Amino acid sequence: VGPEGRTAPSVGRFAMLLPPGTYTVRLSAAGRTESQPLEIRKDPATSGTIEDIRAQIAMASDIHADVNSAVDMINNLELVRGQIATLKSFLASDTTAKDVREAADSLDKKLVAVEGKLHQMRVTGRGQDIIRYPAQTTEQLIYLGGSVQWSDAAPTTQHREVQTVLKSQLATIKAEMDRVLAEDLARFQAMLRDRAA
């Protein structure tokens, strides 16, 4: 992982559907802006009610917030890992920095252990990866969000149960990440400061 980070092939965008209602569409180009109303109607062929759709949107919004939180965690972990990789590259030929390289490797392993719970890090975006390696919390959240929005029905009891499990997993991972950053990263930074002094 370089300082620029990398794409997580198994973590895509989570798009939310808009509920029925009247919206304004604006298009801006060449210094002009055009606006026009747009009405989104409920599919008359479904048995879902407007209340069902509202419940669905509320749950999808909550899942969307959890996905954003998970992606923020992935980005933070990747940022720290990129900095560690840069430091190790900088110190690669320094024979007096073996202890720093070893400490950097140890810290990176702890960061990878946390990040691997957020998304499947072995997925390359090619071939059969998604059936070879189990989806992790962020991928599961994205799948759940799509499942909740597959029809105009209200979220099921099973949707809610799975969301509760995933929300709990995300909180546990966040606590673990915070601990690694507050303790292990802080120790590594103190080690670097001591060497520089």
Tell me, what's the pLDDT at 9?
Answer: 67
Q: In sequence order, what DSSP letters do the residues of 103-123 get, joined into one string?
A: HHHHHHHHHHHHHHHHS-TT-
> What is the spatial distance between Cα 41 and Cα 34, in angstroms, rounded to a whole number?
22
Would you state the pLDDT for residue 183?
A: 97
Residue among 144, 146, 124, 120 at smallest CA distance from 134: 120
Q: Can you give the pLDDT at residue 3? A: 53
**What tens-digit pLDDT sequence spans the chain (197 residues)?**
445 555 666 787 778 888 899 999 999 999 999 999 999 998 888 888 999 999 999 999 999 999 999 999 999 999 999 999 999 999 999 999 999 999 999 999 999 999 999 999 888 777 777 778 899 999 999 999 999 998 889 999 999 999 999 999 999 999 999 999 999 999 999 999 998 87
> Which is nearest to 121 in space by CA: 14, 13, 6, 3?
6
Residue 122 has what pLDDT? Answer: 86
Count of all residues that appear for the chain in the document: 197
